[in-house]
Amino acid sequence: MKKSDNLLTTGDYRQKIIRFMLPILIGQLFQQLYNTADALIVGNFLNSGALAAVTSTSSLVYLIIGFCLGFASGAGVVVSRHVGENNAEQISKAVHTAVLLGIGIGILTTVLGVFFADDMLKLMRTPADVIDQAVLYLRIYFSGSLAVVMYNMLVGIVQSTGDSRHPLYYLAASSVLNIILDILFISRLHMGVEGAALATVISQITAMLLVLRQLLQTEDAVRIRFSKLRMDGENLRAIIRYGLPTALQDCVIDFSNILIQSYINSFGYAAVAGIGASTRAEGFAFLLITAFSIAATTFISQNIGAGQYDRARQGMRFTLITSVTVIELIGIVMTINAPTIIRAFSLDPDVIRYGTGRMRCCGLFYCFVGFSHVASAVMRGAGRPNVPLIVMLVCWCAVRVAVLMTVGQVIHDIRLVYMIYPFTWMLSSIIYIFFLRSTRIGPSQAAL
């Protein structure tokens, strides 16, 4: 394999992590603009009902797409290990296996999303006055889900080599395109929510084509050659081993969010729009966590592959401490400025009231969600992908569902939705501390 300055196994580990993480963070910022631009433009150019239609689909989109992207994470871990080992043959086999797996998952996702959108939204008790628009938005969105799955699979391959800059360029270009098309389709052509969905689909296809072009032309071992597209059993099993627990973890979290969304829907369109605006804004804060999580998994995977266990532990501690500190500061700022943030989405007083209530209840507890996500990434990089699955299944799914199915049936209060998130964030953080103290990185030493 051709040597690269992007490798995370040499140099000052803090500088390498930050330099790798920053382009991911900026790229995730542009990625978040996909959904948020839709919500902002729909909320300002259309009405609160249209905003509710767009935001009410979020948890369902994340459920299906999140399950698929778990395998992209698994592919990234496998390729990163081979990169650390400097094994060009295995890198190539893993890359081509991942591409074929992504195509298959993407096609399945498209079929499920397009044909069952109506049924899934009805099960979520989507308000009758917005369900038609929500179904339309969801079907158009899922018509481009193959591009979403393939983009993330291909980006996982690129980032596994330590290259986080090129995905940033592609996301920036596609996000700007998305905003331009949103304004054109909604404010100029008056297409409504279907314009927002179409703009997102076109932008996602553009991003996927850009990263595919890079992997077709690169001289590194990760280069894609159509003549080599075949499944390799060993690498497929490894991708599934790392990817399936992550996919199930994301799936159970998003499933619990769907149940919570169903509970929110019972309070009417203003609650749906307000809480939806809050979670969209919150998504920007959590970009930092996503970036540090990807950096932690890639850094630890490469260094374990290279046998540099002390360096892997140092990187893990640095990402945990830095991410938790910064995300808590962001949470404080968002708590103070909650009404102003929600007004950017809607001027409806009820929408502002619901969105502000949720943001002020959750903002001061962002440190716990940050710790949980990065600890989950550490587990995957250290070869224990089942741990995050178990922790998230219990804390972020079972506990949330149990509360809604018991207390929620007796007390019909929106504040229950506000409080359930910080409570389960704290619970998962406590459990992760015990797992980190028992997880070995290297022959003997524990992660913490």
Task: Quote the pLDDT of residue 365.
Answer: 94
Task: Quote the pLDDT of residue 264.
Answer: 85
What mean pLDDT do residues 24-43 have?
71
Among 36-50, 56-70, 395-409, which range has the highest average pLDDT? 395-409
Task: Quote the pLDDT of residue 7.
Answer: 74
Task: Quote the pLDDT of residue 334.
Answer: 93
Least trusted range by pLDDT, from 215-229, 232-246, 252-266, 301-315: 252-266
Q: Which of residues 370 and 187 earns the better pLDDT score?
A: 370
Contact 316, 302 (CB under 8 A): no
Task: Quote the pLDDT of residue 306.
Answer: 82
Q: Which of 86, 81, 114 has the alpha carbon at shortest distance from 1?
A: 86
50: pLDDT strictly greater than 90: no
What are the Cα distances from residue 9, in Å, to 81, 189, 315? 11, 51, 11
Q: Which of residues 305 and 403 earns the better pLDDT score?
A: 403
Q: Which of residues 5 and 256 earns the better pLDDT score?
A: 256
Confidence of residue 34 (pLDDT cuts 50, 70, 90): low
What percent of the chain has a predicted confidence (pLDDT) above 90? Answer: 19
Task: Quote the pLDDT of residue 267.
Answer: 85
What mean pLDDT do residues 141-156 have?
87
Task: Quote the pLDDT of residue 5.
Answer: 57
- What six digits make up the tokens of 26? 């900026």
Task: Quote the pLDDT of residue 59.
Answer: 66
Task: Quote the pLDDT of residue 328.
Answer: 95
Confidence of residue 58 (pLDDT cuts 50, 70, 90): low
Q: Which of 113, 130, 116, 109 has the alpha carbon at shortest distance from 43?
A: 130
Confidence of residue 430 (pLDDT cuts 50, 70, 90): very high
Task: Quote the pLDDT of residue 358.
Answer: 92
45: pLDDT strictly greater than 70: no
Distance CA 377, CA 393 (A): 16
User: What tens digit of pLDDT does each residue of 283-292 get?
Assistant: 888 888 988 9
CA–CA–CA angle 193, 199, 201 (5° rounding): 105
Task: Quote the pLDDT of residue 43.
Answer: 64
Distance CA 204, CA 144 (A): 7
User: What tens digit of pLDDT does each residue of 335-381 get?
Assistant: 999 999 999 888 888 889 999 999 999 999 999 999 999 998 888 88
Task: Quote the pLDDT of residue 161.
Answer: 82
Distance CA 199, CA 163 (A): 28
Q: Which of 203, 369, 200 has the alpha carbon at shortest distance from 287?
A: 369
Burial class, 420, CB count within 10 angstroms (exposed 0-12 / middle 13-18 / buried 19+):
buried
Task: Quote the pLDDT of residue 47.
Answer: 61
Least trusted range by pLDDT, from 59-73, 169-183, 386-400: 59-73
3: pLDDT strictly greater than 60: no
Q: Which of 424, 430, 36 has the alpha carbon at shortest distance from 253?
A: 424
Sign of CA dihedral 434, 435, 438, 442: negative
What mean pLDDT do residues 284-310 have?
86
What mean pLDDT do residues 150-163 have?
87
Tell me what the pLDDT averaged over the chain comes to: 83
Distance CA 194, CA 173 (A): 22
Contact 422, 363 (CB under 8 A): no
What mean pLDDT do residues 432-437 have?
88
277: pLDDT strictly greater than 80: yes
Least trusted range by pLDDT, from 130-144, 321-335, 413-427: 130-144
Task: Quote the pLDDT of residue 68.
Answer: 73
What are the Cα distances from residue 311, in Å, to 4, 16, 80, 304? 19, 12, 15, 9
Task: Quote the pLDDT of residue 356.
Answer: 93
What mean pLDDT do residues 24-38 have?
73
